[in-house]
Amino acid sequence: MLKKKWRFDACFGVFFLLTLQLGAVPIQRVEERLFGRTPTGEDVQLYTLRNAHGMVARVMGYGATITELRVPDRDGRFANVVLGAESLEAYLGGFSAAASVMGRVANRIANARFTLDDREFRVTANAGQHQLHGGRNGFARKVWRGEVLLAIPSAAAVRFSLSSPDGDEGFPGTLDVAVTYTLNDDNELRIDYMATSDKPTPVNFTNHAYFNLAGEGDVWDHRVWIDADRITSVDAELIPTGEYAPVAGTPLDFTVPTAIGARIEPLIPLTKGYDHNYVLRSGGQRFALAAWCYEPHGGRLMHVYTDQPGMQLYTGKRYFRDGKPIKAAPEQKHNTVCFETQHFPDAVNHPHFPSVILRPGRTFRSATAFRFSAANLPAK
Protein backbone atom coordinates (compact mmCIF):
# COMPACT_ATOMS: atom_id res chain seq x y z
CA MET A 1 0.00 0.00 0.00
CA LEU A 2 1.29 3.44 -0.89
CA LYS A 3 2.07 5.69 2.02
CA LYS A 4 2.89 9.42 1.70
CA LYS A 5 4.95 11.24 4.29
CA TRP A 6 6.24 14.83 4.61
CA ARG A 7 9.42 15.82 6.42
CA PHE A 8 10.98 19.23 7.05
CA ASP A 9 14.75 19.61 7.16
CA ALA A 10 15.93 23.03 8.27
CA CYS A 11 19.60 22.38 7.46
CA PHE A 12 19.11 23.06 3.77
CA GLY A 13 16.00 25.21 3.83
CA VAL A 14 12.68 23.67 2.98
CA PHE A 15 12.62 20.08 1.71
CA PHE A 16 9.51 18.48 0.35
CA LEU A 17 9.97 14.76 0.76
CA LEU A 18 7.35 12.53 -0.76
CA THR A 19 7.99 8.99 0.46
CA LEU A 20 6.34 5.93 -1.04
CA GLN A 21 6.41 2.67 0.87
CA LEU A 22 6.91 -0.19 -1.61
CA GLY A 23 7.25 -3.31 0.51
CA ALA A 24 10.00 -2.56 3.01
CA VAL A 25 11.91 -0.10 0.83
CA PRO A 26 10.98 3.59 1.14
CA ILE A 27 11.57 5.81 -1.89
CA GLN A 28 12.18 9.48 -1.37
CA ARG A 29 10.42 10.74 -4.49
CA VAL A 30 10.92 14.52 -4.37
CA GLU A 31 13.34 16.76 -2.54
CA GLU A 32 13.60 20.54 -2.71
CA ARG A 33 16.49 22.71 -1.58
CA LEU A 34 18.00 26.10 -2.26
CA PHE A 35 20.45 25.94 -5.18
CA GLY A 36 21.58 29.56 -4.97
CA ARG A 37 20.60 33.21 -5.32
CA THR A 38 20.86 35.52 -8.28
CA PRO A 39 22.67 38.88 -7.98
CA THR A 40 19.23 40.51 -7.64
CA GLY A 41 18.39 38.33 -4.64
CA GLU A 42 16.05 35.81 -6.29
CA ASP A 43 16.14 32.34 -4.76
CA VAL A 44 16.68 29.48 -7.18
CA GLN A 45 15.38 26.11 -6.02
CA LEU A 46 16.73 22.70 -6.99
CA TYR A 47 14.39 19.70 -7.12
CA THR A 48 15.56 16.09 -7.03
CA LEU A 49 13.13 13.57 -8.56
CA ARG A 50 13.57 9.83 -8.03
CA ASN A 51 11.77 6.74 -9.26
CA ALA A 52 11.48 3.16 -8.00
CA HIS A 53 14.46 1.98 -10.08
CA GLY A 54 17.03 4.46 -8.80
CA MET A 55 16.82 6.88 -11.72
CA VAL A 56 17.37 10.49 -10.65
CA ALA A 57 16.51 13.77 -12.37
CA ARG A 58 17.51 17.14 -10.92
CA VAL A 59 15.84 20.30 -12.19
CA MET A 60 16.23 23.88 -11.05
CA GLY A 61 14.27 27.12 -11.28
CA TYR A 62 16.81 29.12 -13.29
CA GLY A 63 15.76 28.43 -16.85
CA ALA A 64 13.59 25.50 -15.69
CA THR A 65 16.78 23.54 -16.32
CA ILE A 66 17.66 19.85 -16.04
CA THR A 67 20.98 19.86 -14.20
CA GLU A 68 21.46 16.10 -13.94
CA LEU A 69 19.87 12.90 -15.20
CA ARG A 70 21.28 9.64 -13.80
CA VAL A 71 20.36 6.53 -15.77
CA PRO A 72 21.48 2.87 -15.45
CA ASP A 73 23.29 0.95 -18.19
CA ARG A 74 22.78 -2.73 -19.00
CA ASP A 75 24.93 -3.71 -15.98
CA GLY A 76 23.00 -1.47 -13.58
CA ARG A 77 25.73 1.18 -13.40
CA PHE A 78 24.42 4.73 -13.16
CA ALA A 79 25.85 7.74 -14.96
CA ASN A 80 24.75 11.28 -15.60
CA VAL A 81 23.72 11.53 -19.27
CA VAL A 82 22.89 15.27 -19.44
CA LEU A 83 25.47 18.04 -19.52
CA GLY A 84 25.12 20.32 -16.52
CA ALA A 85 27.00 22.50 -14.05
CA GLU A 86 27.40 22.06 -10.31
CA SER A 87 26.59 25.62 -9.23
CA LEU A 88 24.16 28.41 -10.04
CA GLU A 89 27.15 30.70 -10.50
CA ALA A 90 28.28 28.64 -13.48
CA TYR A 91 24.91 29.13 -15.18
CA LEU A 92 24.82 32.83 -14.35
CA GLY A 93 28.36 33.15 -15.66
CA GLY A 94 27.38 32.13 -19.15
CA PHE A 95 27.40 28.32 -19.14
CA SER A 96 25.43 27.94 -22.35
CA ALA A 97 25.34 24.15 -22.63
CA ALA A 98 22.27 23.97 -20.44
CA ALA A 99 19.24 21.71 -20.59
CA SER A 100 16.98 24.73 -20.18
CA VAL A 101 13.58 25.67 -21.59
CA MET A 102 13.99 27.82 -24.70
CA GLY A 103 11.38 30.49 -25.38
CA ARG A 104 9.39 32.54 -26.00
CA VAL A 105 10.35 31.23 -29.45
CA ALA A 106 12.97 28.48 -29.66
CA ASN A 107 15.45 28.36 -32.53
CA ARG A 108 15.79 31.20 -35.04
CA ILE A 109 13.75 34.19 -36.18
CA ALA A 110 15.23 35.67 -39.34
CA ASN A 111 16.37 39.27 -39.06
CA ALA A 112 14.83 39.37 -35.56
CA ARG A 113 11.46 40.49 -36.88
CA PHE A 114 8.09 39.18 -38.02
CA THR A 115 4.67 40.44 -39.06
CA LEU A 116 1.58 39.42 -37.12
CA ASP A 117 -1.93 40.66 -37.99
CA ASP A 118 -0.46 43.33 -40.30
CA ARG A 119 1.85 44.71 -37.62
CA GLU A 120 5.61 44.32 -37.69
CA PHE A 121 7.40 43.33 -34.50
CA ARG A 122 11.12 43.65 -33.94
CA VAL A 123 12.60 41.35 -31.32
CA THR A 124 16.06 41.38 -29.78
CA ALA A 125 18.83 40.06 -32.00
CA ASN A 126 21.40 37.83 -30.28
CA ALA A 127 22.78 35.73 -33.16
CA GLY A 128 24.15 38.29 -35.55
CA GLN A 129 21.12 40.03 -37.06
CA HIS A 130 18.83 37.16 -36.09
CA GLN A 131 17.19 36.03 -32.88
CA LEU A 132 18.04 32.64 -31.38
CA HIS A 133 16.16 30.86 -28.56
CA GLY A 134 14.14 33.85 -27.40
CA GLY A 135 16.76 36.58 -27.37
CA ARG A 136 19.38 37.91 -24.97
CA ASN A 137 17.22 37.32 -21.92
CA GLY A 138 15.06 34.42 -23.07
CA PHE A 139 13.32 31.91 -20.84
CA ALA A 140 16.60 30.05 -20.22
CA ARG A 141 17.84 33.09 -18.29
CA LYS A 142 14.79 33.70 -16.13
CA VAL A 143 13.93 32.46 -12.65
CA TRP A 144 10.86 30.22 -12.68
CA ARG A 145 8.70 29.47 -9.65
CA GLY A 146 8.62 25.77 -8.77
CA GLU A 147 5.87 23.71 -7.16
CA VAL A 148 6.02 20.04 -6.16
CA LEU A 149 3.05 18.06 -7.49
CA LEU A 150 1.88 15.35 -5.13
CA ALA A 151 -1.16 13.64 -6.62
CA ILE A 152 0.65 11.71 -9.35
CA PRO A 153 0.86 7.94 -8.73
CA SER A 154 4.17 6.11 -9.29
CA ALA A 155 5.90 9.33 -10.31
CA ALA A 156 7.67 12.42 -9.04
CA ALA A 157 6.78 15.79 -10.55
CA VAL A 158 7.52 19.49 -10.28
CA ARG A 159 5.85 22.33 -12.15
CA PHE A 160 7.65 25.57 -13.05
CA SER A 161 5.68 28.75 -13.76
CA LEU A 162 6.69 31.99 -15.43
CA SER A 163 4.89 35.15 -16.54
CA SER A 164 6.54 36.85 -19.51
CA PRO A 165 5.29 40.45 -19.73
CA ASP A 166 4.03 42.23 -22.82
CA GLY A 167 7.07 43.47 -24.77
CA ASP A 168 9.47 40.94 -23.25
CA GLU A 169 12.37 40.69 -25.75
CA GLY A 170 10.06 42.50 -28.19
CA PHE A 171 7.25 39.92 -28.20
CA PRO A 172 3.61 41.00 -27.88
CA GLY A 173 1.30 39.94 -25.06
CA THR A 174 1.67 38.77 -21.49
CA LEU A 175 2.43 35.06 -21.75
CA ASP A 176 1.80 32.79 -18.76
CA VAL A 177 3.78 29.57 -19.03
CA ALA A 178 3.89 26.32 -17.05
CA VAL A 179 6.41 23.54 -17.62
CA THR A 180 6.04 20.25 -15.73
CA TYR A 181 8.77 17.65 -15.35
CA THR A 182 7.56 14.16 -14.42
CA LEU A 183 9.82 11.19 -13.70
CA ASN A 184 7.84 7.94 -13.66
CA ASP A 185 8.60 4.31 -12.91
CA ASP A 186 8.91 3.51 -16.62
CA ASN A 187 12.27 5.35 -16.51
CA GLU A 188 10.70 8.16 -18.49
CA LEU A 189 11.24 11.87 -18.00
CA ARG A 190 8.28 13.72 -19.47
CA ILE A 191 8.08 17.46 -20.12
CA ASP A 192 4.65 19.07 -20.46
CA TYR A 193 4.34 22.65 -21.70
CA MET A 194 1.30 24.91 -21.31
CA ALA A 195 0.83 28.61 -22.12
CA THR A 196 -1.84 31.30 -22.49
CA SER A 197 -1.58 34.87 -23.75
CA ASP A 198 -3.70 38.02 -23.65
CA LYS A 199 -2.56 39.03 -27.17
CA PRO A 200 -1.67 37.09 -30.30
CA THR A 201 1.97 36.01 -30.00
CA PRO A 202 4.32 33.36 -31.39
CA VAL A 203 5.10 30.44 -29.09
CA ASN A 204 7.62 27.66 -29.64
CA PHE A 205 9.21 25.85 -26.70
CA THR A 206 11.91 23.21 -26.48
CA ASN A 207 14.37 21.81 -23.97
CA HIS A 208 17.99 22.10 -25.06
CA ALA A 209 19.32 19.04 -23.19
CA TYR A 210 22.79 17.94 -24.29
CA PHE A 211 22.93 14.13 -24.07
CA ASN A 212 25.83 11.72 -23.87
CA LEU A 213 24.53 8.26 -23.07
CA ALA A 214 27.97 7.05 -22.01
CA GLY A 215 28.40 9.93 -19.56
CA GLU A 216 31.81 10.80 -21.04
CA GLY A 217 33.81 10.81 -24.26
CA ASP A 218 32.30 11.67 -27.64
CA VAL A 219 29.01 10.61 -29.20
CA TRP A 220 30.34 9.48 -32.57
CA ASP A 221 29.45 5.86 -31.82
CA HIS A 222 25.92 6.71 -30.62
CA ARG A 223 23.47 5.22 -33.09
CA VAL A 224 20.49 7.35 -34.02
CA TRP A 225 17.19 6.69 -35.78
CA ILE A 226 14.83 9.53 -36.72
CA ASP A 227 11.29 9.17 -38.06
CA ALA A 228 11.76 11.77 -40.79
CA ASP A 229 12.65 11.70 -44.46
CA ARG A 230 12.90 15.48 -44.92
CA ILE A 231 14.52 18.50 -43.32
CA THR A 232 13.78 22.20 -43.60
CA SER A 233 16.43 23.64 -45.92
CA VAL A 234 18.57 26.47 -44.56
CA ASP A 235 20.94 29.09 -45.90
CA ALA A 236 24.52 29.72 -44.78
CA GLU A 237 23.26 31.42 -41.58
CA LEU A 238 21.00 28.45 -40.73
CA ILE A 239 17.86 30.42 -41.60
CA PRO A 240 15.15 28.32 -43.31
CA THR A 241 14.64 29.04 -46.98
CA GLY A 242 11.03 27.84 -46.77
CA GLU A 243 11.77 24.70 -48.77
CA TYR A 244 11.97 21.07 -47.72
CA ALA A 245 14.82 18.77 -48.72
CA PRO A 246 14.85 14.96 -48.77
CA VAL A 247 17.48 13.28 -46.63
CA ALA A 248 17.84 10.14 -48.77
CA GLY A 249 21.38 9.66 -50.01
CA THR A 250 22.83 12.37 -47.73
CA PRO A 251 24.62 12.36 -44.34
CA LEU A 252 21.32 13.59 -42.86
CA ASP A 253 19.51 10.30 -43.43
CA PHE A 254 18.75 8.52 -40.14
CA THR A 255 15.76 6.52 -41.38
CA VAL A 256 18.13 3.56 -40.96
CA PRO A 257 19.95 3.55 -37.58
CA THR A 258 23.39 5.09 -38.11
CA ALA A 259 26.26 6.12 -35.86
CA ILE A 260 26.55 9.89 -35.50
CA GLY A 261 30.22 9.83 -36.48
CA ALA A 262 29.74 7.70 -39.57
CA ARG A 263 28.93 10.62 -41.87
CA ILE A 264 29.45 13.78 -39.82
CA GLU A 265 32.76 14.93 -41.28
CA PRO A 266 31.36 16.35 -44.57
CA LEU A 267 29.03 18.53 -42.49
CA ILE A 268 31.70 20.12 -40.30
CA PRO A 269 32.79 22.79 -42.81
CA LEU A 270 29.14 23.72 -43.43
CA THR A 271 27.32 23.53 -40.09
CA LYS A 272 30.10 22.33 -37.72
CA GLY A 273 28.27 19.02 -37.46
CA TYR A 274 24.58 18.22 -37.23
CA ASP A 275 22.37 21.27 -36.73
CA HIS A 276 19.23 20.49 -38.73
CA ASN A 277 15.48 20.54 -38.22
CA TYR A 278 13.85 17.25 -39.17
CA VAL A 279 10.26 17.23 -40.47
CA LEU A 280 8.74 14.41 -38.45
CA ARG A 281 6.42 12.01 -40.24
CA SER A 282 3.83 12.35 -37.48
CA GLY A 283 3.39 15.98 -38.51
CA GLY A 284 2.73 17.03 -34.95
CA GLN A 285 -0.72 15.47 -35.14
CA ARG A 286 -0.21 12.95 -32.34
CA PHE A 287 2.15 12.01 -29.52
CA ALA A 288 4.50 9.63 -31.29
CA LEU A 289 8.01 8.19 -31.36
CA ALA A 290 10.26 10.73 -33.09
CA ALA A 291 13.73 9.25 -32.58
CA TRP A 292 15.90 6.92 -30.58
CA CYS A 293 19.56 6.99 -29.60
CA TYR A 294 21.68 4.02 -28.50
CA GLU A 295 25.12 3.91 -26.89
CA PRO A 296 26.61 0.48 -27.65
CA HIS A 297 29.16 0.06 -24.85
CA GLY A 298 26.91 0.52 -21.84
CA GLY A 299 23.72 -0.26 -23.74
CA ARG A 300 21.73 2.81 -22.73
CA LEU A 301 18.84 3.36 -25.13
CA MET A 302 16.78 6.58 -25.19
CA HIS A 303 13.47 6.91 -27.03
CA VAL A 304 12.20 10.42 -27.80
CA TYR A 305 8.44 10.99 -28.02
CA THR A 306 6.72 14.24 -28.94
CA ASP A 307 3.60 15.83 -30.39
CA GLN A 308 5.64 18.52 -32.17
CA PRO A 309 6.10 18.55 -35.98
CA GLY A 310 9.87 19.01 -35.93
CA MET A 311 13.05 18.07 -34.10
CA GLN A 312 16.46 19.74 -34.27
CA LEU A 313 19.34 17.27 -34.24
CA TYR A 314 22.32 19.17 -32.90
CA THR A 315 25.75 17.79 -32.08
CA GLY A 316 27.08 19.91 -29.26
CA LYS A 317 30.53 21.34 -29.18
CA ARG A 318 31.27 20.81 -25.49
CA TYR A 319 33.48 18.24 -23.78
CA PHE A 320 31.63 16.08 -21.32
CA ARG A 321 32.70 13.93 -18.36
CA ASP A 322 30.06 12.57 -15.98
CA GLY A 323 27.79 15.48 -16.81
CA LYS A 324 30.36 18.22 -16.20
CA PRO A 325 31.68 20.61 -18.84
CA ILE A 326 35.41 20.54 -19.52
CA LYS A 327 37.29 22.82 -21.90
CA ALA A 328 37.46 21.00 -25.21
CA ALA A 329 40.34 20.68 -27.59
CA PRO A 330 39.30 20.87 -31.27
CA GLU A 331 39.45 17.09 -31.66
CA GLN A 332 37.16 16.65 -28.65
CA LYS A 333 34.12 18.39 -30.11
CA HIS A 334 30.79 16.65 -30.73
CA ASN A 335 30.71 15.09 -27.29
CA THR A 336 26.99 15.62 -26.87
CA VAL A 337 23.87 15.45 -28.98
CA CYS A 338 20.56 17.31 -28.67
CA PHE A 339 17.09 16.19 -29.74
CA GLU A 340 15.19 19.49 -29.64
CA THR A 341 11.50 18.82 -30.28
CA GLN A 342 9.88 21.94 -31.70
CA HIS A 343 7.90 23.73 -34.35
CA PHE A 344 10.01 24.66 -37.35
CA PRO A 345 12.63 27.41 -37.07
CA ASP A 346 11.48 30.84 -38.32
CA ALA A 347 7.93 29.47 -38.70
CA VAL A 348 6.58 32.92 -37.88
CA ASN A 349 7.96 34.13 -41.24
CA HIS A 350 6.80 31.14 -43.32
CA PRO A 351 2.98 30.88 -43.52
CA HIS A 352 3.11 27.38 -45.02
CA PHE A 353 4.98 26.02 -41.98
CA PRO A 354 2.85 24.76 -39.07
CA SER A 355 1.66 27.87 -37.22
CA VAL A 356 3.26 29.00 -33.96
CA ILE A 357 0.71 31.74 -33.25
CA LEU A 358 -1.12 31.52 -29.93
CA ARG A 359 -4.24 33.69 -29.65
CA PRO A 360 -6.17 34.90 -26.60
CA GLY A 361 -8.69 32.37 -25.31
CA ARG A 362 -6.63 29.45 -26.57
CA THR A 363 -4.21 27.29 -24.58
CA PHE A 364 -0.93 26.02 -25.98
CA ARG A 365 -0.17 22.46 -24.86
CA SER A 366 2.68 20.20 -25.86
CA ALA A 367 4.59 17.25 -24.47
CA THR A 368 7.94 15.54 -25.00
CA ALA A 369 9.22 12.42 -23.24
CA PHE A 370 12.64 10.80 -22.96
CA ARG A 371 12.28 7.11 -22.10
CA PHE A 372 15.36 5.15 -21.04
CA SER A 373 16.12 1.44 -21.09
CA ALA A 374 19.12 -0.84 -21.52
CA ALA A 375 19.66 -3.03 -24.54
CA ASN A 376 22.20 -5.06 -26.46
CA LEU A 377 21.39 -4.15 -30.04
CA PRO A 378 23.26 -5.81 -32.91
CA ALA A 379 26.07 -3.86 -34.53
CA LYS A 380 24.06 -3.35 -37.73
DSSP one-letter string for 250-315: STT--SS-EEGGGS-GGGHHHHSS-EEEEE-TTTTSS-EEEEEEE-TTT-EEEEEEESSSEEEEEE
Q: How far is CA 107 from CA 312, 344, 363, in A?
A: 9, 8, 21
For residue 181, is it within any domain? yes
Q: Establish how many alpha carbons lie within 13 A of residue 144's alpha carbon, considering only the half-sphere containing its beta carbon.
A: 30
Percent residues over pLDDT 90 in the chain: 79
* 83-108: average pLDDT: 90
Nearest to 175 by CA among 162, 188, 190, 164: 164
Is the model more confident about 96 or about 116?
A: 116
19, part of any domain? yes
195-220 pLDDT, tens digit per residue, is 999 999 999 999 999 999 999 888 99
Is residue 186 in some structural domain? yes
Active site residue 265: no
Per-residue pLDDT band for 299 (boundaries 50, 70, 90) equals very high
Structural contact between residues 192 and 220, judged by C-beta atoms closer than 8 angstroms: no
Distance set, CA 261 to CA 25, 334, 337 (Å) = 43, 9, 11
Strand order in the sheet with 275-279: 240-246, 230-234, 275-279, 310-316, 336-342
Three-class secondary structure of residue 180 per DSSP? strand
90 is a domain residue: yes
Instruction: Give the CATH number for residue 292.
Output: 2.70.98.10
Residue of 59, 114, 82 lying closest to 208 (CA atoms) = 82
pTM, to two decimals = 0.91
pLDDT, tens digit, for every residue of 42-90? 999 999 999 999 999 999 999 999 999 999 999 999 999 999 988 999 9
Whether 340 sits among the annotated catalytic residues: the reply is yes
pLDDT (tens digit per residue) in 4-19: 323 233 333 334 444 4
> Active-site residue among 188, 340, 343, 350?
340
Domain membership of residue 379 (yes or no) is no
Q: Once rounded to an integer, what is the mean pLDDT over residues 176-202?
A: 98
Q: Which among 208, 222, 334, 350 is annotated as catalytic?
A: 208
SS3 content of the chain, % helix, strand, coil (to 5): 10, 45, 45
91 is in which domain, residue-wise? 10-374
Q: In the prediction, which pLDDT does 380 show?
A: 63
Q: Is residue 5 part of a domain?
A: no
Residue 380 lies in a domain: no
- What is the domain count for the chain? 1
Assigned domain for 215 exists: yes
Q: What is the pLDDT of residue 25?
A: 56
Q: 222-272 pLDDT, tens per residue?
A: 999 999 999 999 999 999 999 999 999 999 999 999 999 999 989 988 888
